[in-house]
Amino acid sequence: MVCLGEEEAKPHFVLVPLVAQGHMIPMVDMARLLAEHGARVSLITTPVNAARIQPIIDRVSRSNLPIRFVELRFPCKEIGIPDGCENVDLLTDQETFKPFFDAMSSFQSPLEDYILAQDPNPTCIISDGCNPWTMEVARKLGIPRFVFHGPSCFYVLCDYNIMRHNLYKLIVDQLEPFLVPDLPVRVEVNKLQAPGFFNQSGWEKLCDDCIEAEKTADAILINTFDDLEHPFIEQYAKSLGKKVWPIGPLCLYNKDVDSKATRGNIAAIDQHRVITWLDTKEANSVIYVSFGSLARHQPLQIIEIGSGLEASKKPFIWVIKEAEMVPEVEKWIKEEFEEKTKERGLIVKGWSPQLAILSHAAVGGLVTHCGWNSMLESISNGVPLVTWPHFADQFLNEKLVVDVLRVGVSLGVKSPCYFTGVDSSTAEVVKSEDIEEAVSRLMDGGEEGRERRERAKEFGEKAKKAMEEGGSSYVNMNEMIQFVMEQSGKQGCLLNGSVDFLA
Ligand code: UDP
């Protein structure tokens, strides 16, 4: 048997993320992991999104990893949004969301042209679960297609079971509590907390297409690991009747500070300044407060968060988005808040080098909006969490982390707050006392707090093991590559942990 080493013999994956930070960031990590496992990768992106990750593109090119970043034009003009609005986090008007999501399918024809121009043919498309239009591309060109789900497997399974039992349609009252059917654990929610993706009026076609895309996919990839979500992964695979590979935590691809600090966008603060600041703090003493890339708060809420942090007396790093930095907030920070907390607080105004912060030994807690990437980044680094879900999958992610994994303290928020900040004016305001109490419980918390931290550290260790050579996610990635090669009619053999292929 002769194992070929030629570039052409490598499997070629075409990655098609949704252009939203929580979906692109893990796919960019996945691209580099696949390349290190012996594959070639094309990652579909747009000019603005590519510019945001230029440091990664430069690093990939210096290291000769076989990854091509393919920039397709996003039709901003055609859908009436400002030029350059190429990522969900740049949208400011709720009305533009639907046209934005629909516009993703305009990639279909240029993607087909790109794939047809490759010689040999790409081996597999890995498409975000929110990009069902890739179904048609894969079918037309006869290429296997995997769906990548960004949220926790727990969420994906809950959503699947709720949908399968038709509860999104049967339950009319948004506040009526119901049990998620067929789960190995008892989970009670209402429709406000578990709305599903795209389950609103006007979005029916996209919603149906996503279900069909999952049903017809050749396999499913999830950013999680077996030791974290085993019962849910097993049950989801059984229900779908197809392979479900947990291949995460993908964030652990990033080993050095620079690589951890340059994900998703150019940071608003120099990572070395943050690290130097953290170096002066005791282990597990700092609380990091961040609400992901989308959730935005009104000034009143921002002031409550700041007051809670001030009252907690803990050292903190707090991320306030550019869009939230309105004159009222600037003034309050400058004239009141900064003076009182400057000895122990750092505010990041804009994009934060989050993973570099969460992996520093001084960080002992995260206040989070419960986006799955942030939660996984925290857990992989052994950091327990205060949970404050805002929308989409986040209330169910909270249940997993607080009730099942028991590494989180819930702030007790019961209803959603949407992300453009427009609807958040009507959302319940979380009070500073509640924030202070939850932060204190997490960071001090006596025996209960010690045990919670211990569990988080254990998951952190298991996460690292999963990604090491021979670990469960590492093995899954190789198995997945092998599966693809078999599907595409070739045979593979594993060599030195990476995959080389037989003629
Ligand atoms: N993130 C970051 N800096 C920020 C805000 C977010 O690096 O200032 C990253 C974060 O590390 C995570 C992603 O953006 O990888 C956010 O994804 P998540 O699923 O947590 O939330 P979403 O933004 O999708 O609501």
Question: What is the per-residue pLDDT across 419-439, written as a single tens digit (0 to 9) for each?
Answer: 655 455 566 799 999 999 999
45 falls within a domain: yes
- Strand (E) positions, 88-207? 124-128, 145-149, 178-179, 188-189
Report the nearest-CA residue for atom 24 of ligand 1: 22
Atom from ligand 1 closest to the CA of residue 351: 8
Atom from ligand 1 closest to the CA of residue 375: 20
Choose among 159, 232, 252: nearest CA to 477: 252
Check whether residue 265 and residue 117 sit in a common domain: no
pLDDT band at 486 (very low <50, low <70, confident <90, very high): confident
Range of the domain at 279: 257-463
Span from the CA of 328 to the centroid of ligand 1 (angstroms):
25
158 falls within a domain: no
In short, whether 25's Cβ falls inside 6 Å of ligand 1 is yes
In whole angstroms, what separates CA 62 from the centre of its chain?
26
Check whether residue 426 and residue 474 sit in a common domain: no
417 falls within a domain: yes
Residue pair 91/23 in contact (Cβ under 8 Å)? The answer is: no
| 361 C-beta neighbours (distance < 10 Å), count | 15
Alpha-helical regions (H) of 381-431 = 394-399
- Alpha-carbon distance of 310 to 463, in angstroms, equals 33
Which pLDDT score is estimated for 94? 82
Check whether residue 63 and residue 84 sit in a common domain: yes
173 falls within a domain: no
In short, whether 21's Cβ falls inside 6 Å of ligand 1 is yes
What's the Cα-to-Cα distance from 497 to each of 420, 474, 478, rounded to whole Å? 44, 9, 8
pLDDT band at 493 (very low <50, low <70, confident <90, very high): very low
Number of helices followed by number of strands (H, E) in the chain:
22, 18
Which pLDDT score is estimated for 503? 29
- Alpha-carbon distance of 163 to 153, in angstroms, equals 15
Calculate mean pLDDT across residues 34-51.
Answer: 97
Calculate mean pLDDT across residues 222-247.
Answer: 98
Check whether residue 446 and residue 479 sit in a common domain: no
Which pLDDT score is estimated for 496? 40
204 falls within a domain: no
Check whether residue 367 and residue 493 sit in a common domain: no
Mutate to test the pocket of ligand 1, among 18, 88, 373 (most ligand atoms within 8 A of CB): 373
Going by the DSSP 8-state scheme, the letter that residue 80 receives in this structure is T
In short, whether 354's Cβ falls inside 6 Å of ligand 1 is yes
Which pLDDT score is estimated for 465? 98
Span from the CA of 118 to the centroid of ligand 1 (angstroms):
33
Lowest-confidence range among 198-202, 340-344, 379-383, 388-392? 198-202
285-334 tens-digit pLDDT? 999 999 999 999 999 999 999 999 999 999 999 999 999 999 999 999 99
Q: Which one is predicted more confidently, 107 or 445?
A: 107
Q: Is 159 helix (H, G, I), strand (E, B) or coil?
A: helix
Look at residue 488 and tell me whether its pLDDT is greater than 80.
Answer: no
199 falls within a domain: no
In short, whether 152's Cβ falls inside 6 Å of ligand 1 is no
- Alpha-carbon distance of 165 to 167, in angstroms, equals 5
Look at residue 204 and tell me whether its pLDDT is greater than 50.
Answer: yes
In short, whether 472's Cβ falls inside 6 Å of ligand 1 is no
Calculate mean pLDDT across residues 201-212.
Answer: 92
Q: Which residues lie below 8 Å from residue 272, measured CB to CB, with a gap of 6+?
A: 257
Mutate to test the pocket of ligand 1, among 355, 374, 383 (most ligand atoms within 8 A of CB): 374
Which pLDDT score is estimated for 193? 92
In short, whether 290's Cβ falls inside 6 Å of ligand 1 is yes
Q: 502 - beta bridge partners?
A: 3
Q: 70 - beta bridge partners?
A: 44
Check whether residue 304 and residue 422 sit in a common domain: yes
- Alpha-carbon distance of 369 to 371, in angstroms, equals 6
Q: Counting Cβ atoms within 10 Å, is residue 165 exposed (0-12), middle (13-18) or buried (19+)?
A: middle
Check whether residue 413 and residue 475 sit in a common domain: no
Look at residue 501 and tell me whether its pLDDT is greater than 90.
Answer: no
196 falls within a domain: no
Look at residue 3 and tell me whether its pLDDT is greater than 60.
Answer: no
Lowest-confidence range among 95-104, 128-137, 209-218, 404-413? 95-104
Report the nearest-CA residue for atom 13 of ligand 1: 22
Which pLDDT score is estimated for 92? 86
Span from the CA of 194 to the centroid of ligand 1 (angstroms):
21
The b/e string for 289-328 (b: 16+ C-beta within 10 A; e otherwise) is bbbbbbbbbbbebbbbbbbbbbebebbbbbbbbeebbeee
Residue pair 170/149 in contact (Cβ under 8 Å)? The answer is: no
Span from the CA of 172 to the centroid of ligand 1 (angstroms):
32
Span from the CA of 22 to the centroid of ligand 1 (angstroms):
6
Residue pair 89/61 in contact (Cβ under 8 Å)? The answer is: no
Residue pair 287/442 in contact (Cβ under 8 Å)? The answer is: yes
DSSP 437-465: HHHHHHHT-HHHHHHHHHHHHHHHHHHHH
Report the nearest-CA residue for atom 6 of ligand 1: 292
| 500 C-beta neighbours (distance < 10 Å), count | 17
Look at residue 502 and tell me whether its pLDDT is greater than 90.
Answer: no
The CATH number that applies at residue 14 is: 3.40.50.2000
In short, whether 351's Cβ falls inside 6 Å of ligand 1 is yes
Check whether residue 380 and residue 474 sit in a common domain: no
Check whether residue 27 and residue 123 sit in a common domain: yes
In short, whether 355's Cβ falls inside 6 Å of ligand 1 is yes
Please give the radius of gyration of the chain, using alpha carbons only, rounded to the nearest integer. Answer: 22
In short, whether 254's Cβ falls inside 6 Å of ligand 1 is no
In short, whether 264's Cβ falls inside 6 Å of ligand 1 is yes
Span from the CA of 242 to the centroid of ligand 1 (angstroms):
30
Check whether residue 304 and residue 446 sit in a common domain: yes
In short, whether 374's Cβ falls inside 6 Å of ligand 1 is yes
Q: Which residues lie below 8 Å from residue 412, measured CB to CB, with a gap of 6+?
A: 434
Look at residue 391 and tell me whether its pLDDT is greater than 60.
Answer: yes
Check whether residue 488 and residue 358 sit in a common domain: no
Going by the DSSP 8-state scheme, the letter that residue 116 receives in this structure is H
- Mean predicted lDDT score pLDDT of the chain: 93
Check whether residue 411 and residue 491 sit in a common domain: no
Which pLDDT score is estimated for 22? 97
Residue pair 121/114 in contact (Cβ under 8 Å)? The answer is: no
The helix (H) or strand (E) run that includes residue 356 is helix 354-358
What's the Cα-to-Cα distance from 83 to each of 17, 79, 80, 90, 407, rounded to whole Å? 20, 10, 9, 11, 42
In short, whether 292's Cβ falls inside 6 Å of ligand 1 is yes
Which pLDDT score is estimated for 415? 87
Which pLDDT score is estimated for 6? 64
Span from the CA of 396 to the centroid of ligand 1 (angstroms):
17
161 falls within a domain: no
Measured CA angle at 16 (ends 198, 142), to 5 deg: 105
How many separate domains does the chain show? 2
Cα atoms in the 13 Å half-sphere on the side-chain side of 494: 15
Mutate to test the pocket of ligand 1, among 19, 25, 368 (most ligand atoms within 8 A of CB): 25
